[in-house]
Each structure stands twice: as structure tokens, then as C-alpha cells.
Amino acid sequence: MSALGSATPGGIARELEAPVAGRRRGIRWRGLGLPIYTALALLFLLIPIAYTFVFSFNDSGKLNIAWQGFTLDKWLHVCDAQGVCEAFGNSILVGVVATVLATALGTAIAIALVRYRFRARGAISLLLFLPMATPEVVLGAGLAAQFLSLGVNKGLVTIIIAHTMFCISFVVVTVKARVASLDPALEEAGRDLYGSATAVFWRITFPLLLPGIAAAALLSFALSFDDFIITNFNSGAVDTFPKFIYIAAARGIPAEANVVASAVFVLAIVLVVVAQVTRAARAARAARQARQLR
């Protein structure tokens, strides 16, 4: 009887649908694997940031390890902790100066490597990649030994020199890719219109390179502001923010340092959101203009 029932059209349809339904359930579960993994990875990455942000409101004394209560006093008087604002100011100063120097030098080097043919061009390209491949401990120790042999006192100047040196490599790599993607016909058109070399560069080449230069500058500033190992070798008695955090971690990072770190993170998020919104608005405006032209 069961054999007869399975031979009916309804029984055959159920037997055919069962494996299909099982495969669909398996596909659904497999499709959830990537979102779950992504959510866990983001959670793992955001836990330290959340801890830093929460403990910036901790009503702590010298130690900021255990939760003592909620307060806004640390945000309102962030410079009360000795050395926090000074170290943060040093990091900003070093980052800005090193970024300006590295961006200017790196952009010029990138243009030269792409547009011109000269001796030792390959060797220079190789040497520019070495700071990126060299461990920071080796790089920092080598620079410290060089400054020592030259009798240079360590301080803000040596930090800026060290940061400019390793940031140049990242600027060259970033800007070089942008230069290689430019259409030389645009510059040739400018020269055909009797534009001088200076006018062609500032009116055509530089605006086209500006997105790559801006990206390289932001990357350089982030690397400089975040660096600890090379800074620790070449800073002497000067403290930067990462160095201050490392020294303070032994006795408990003050809540004021968490305030500065949280403010920097929030500022970075705001800048990214503003950039994305601006880009979306420009794309929408361009799309409307294209529709109007049609």
C-alpha cells in the first residue's frame, strides 16, 4: 500500500520536493556564515574602542582600571592630567610637519619616476620601498645610531626627520599610481594652447593628482600620529601621544588620555561620513545634470 501511495502523483511530488527543500535550508545556513563572521570580527575590533570610550567617562583618580562612576569632568578638564595635552600637541605638530615634507618630496619623486628616464631610476625605486619592508625596530635603531654618531640631540627635530623618512615611501607609492593613470594627452593639449610648463602643471596636472596627493597626505599623517617604535628610539625626552600612552599603561592610562583617543576616533568617523555624504551629493548632482542635458 505504501508503495502504491508513493507511486501516486502526489507522493512522487513530495519525494522530489524534499531534497530541494533540504538544499534550500542548507544554502540559507551557508549564506548566514559570512554575515555572522563579519559581525563577530567587527565586534572583536570594536571592543577596545568601546572600552576606551566608556572609560573616558570614568570618575577615576590616578588609576583608570576599575569603574568608579560616571562623570563628564574628564571631558571638561582634559588637560588636568599632566602631560596628556603636551604629548598630544607634539604628535599633532610632528604629524603635520612630517606630512607636509613627505607629501611635497614624495609627490615630486613620484612624478620623476613615472615621467622621466634617468640613471639609477630602478635603484631609487627599490630604495624607496626598503623603509616599507624594513622592520620598525631596525629602522628606529639605525636612525638612533646615526643621530648618535653625528652628535645630534634627540627631540622634535629628530622625530620629524624620522617620520618624514618613512612616510615618503608611502607617499611615493600612492601618488605614483595616480601619476601613471593620468592621460598625457591632457597636458599636451594644455601645451598646444601655449600654456607654460608651470601653468600646465598647476592648472591641469596638479588638480588631477590632487585626490592621490590628499590620500597620501592622510595616510602619512595617520602613520606619523600612530607611530611608537621609531619615535621611542629617536624622541629623547620628548613625549608624543603614543609614547605617553605606553608609559602610562604600566600604572593605568588616565581617563584624560581616553578622552583624547575617543575624540580623535569620533573626529575620524565624522570626517569619513562627511566625505561620503559629499561624494554622494556630487554624484547625485552630476546625475541630475546628465538627465537635464538629455
Residues 233, 101 within the same domain? yes
pLDDT at 69: 85
Tell me the mean pLDDT per 10 residues along the chain, length 294.
50 54 58 82 88 84 77 84 87 95 94 86 84 88 91 92 92 90 82 81 88 92 92 91 85 81 88 87 85 78
pLDDT for the residue 190: 81
232 located within any domain: yes
- The Cα 218–Cα 213 span in angstroms is 9
CATH code of the domain covering residue 99? 1.10.3720.10
* Sign of the four-CA dihedral 132, 137, 140, 145: negative
Tell me how far CA of residue 168 lies from CA of 68, 105, 208, 228, 240, in angstroms: 45, 7, 20, 18, 20
Nearby residues of 179 by Cβ (< 8 Å), 6 or more positions away? 110, 111, 114, 115, 209, 212
User: Which grid cell sits at 187?
Assistant: 597636458
Same domain, 225 and 278: no
- The whole-number pLDDT of residue 24 equals 58
Tens digit of pLDDT for each residue in 37-66?
Answer: 888 998 898 888 888 888 888 887 767 777
Number of domains, the chain: 3
On whether residue 15 sits in a domain, the answer given is yes
Q: Are residues 218 and 286 in the same domain?
A: no
Q: Same structural domain for residues 66 and 149?
A: no
Q: Which domain holds residue 110?
A: 94-253
- Do 209 and 103 belong together in one domain? yes
pLDDT of res. 1:
45
Does a structural domain hold residue 219? yes
Query: Is there a single domain that holds both residue 127 and residue 221?
Result: yes
Q: What is the pLDDT of residue 19?
A: 59
pLDDT at 230: 93
49 domain-assigned: no
The separation between the first and the last C-alpha atoms of the chain, rounded to the nearest angstrom, is 71
Q: In this structure, is residue 89 part of a structural domain? A: no
> Residue 50: inside a domain, yes or no?
no
Q: Are residues 148 and 33 in the same domain?
A: no
Q: Are residues 13 and 63 in the same domain?
A: no
In the 8-state DSSP scheme, what is residue 115?
H
CA gap 167, 179 in Å, rounded? 18
Q: Are residues 208 and 261 in the same domain?
A: no
DSSP 35-98: HHHHHHHHHHHHHHHHHHHHHTTB--SS--SS---B-SHHHHTGGGSTTHHHHHHHHHHHHHHH
- Please tell me whether residues 266 and 246 are part of one structural domain: no
Supply the pLDDT for residue 30.
Answer: 65
- The pTM for the full model equals 0.78
Query: From CA 95, how far away is CA 91, in angstroms rounded?
Result: 6
**117 three-class SS:** coil
Residues 147, 292 within the same domain: no
Please give the pLDDT value at position 25: 57
Q: Answer yes or no: do 139 and 179 share one domain.
A: yes
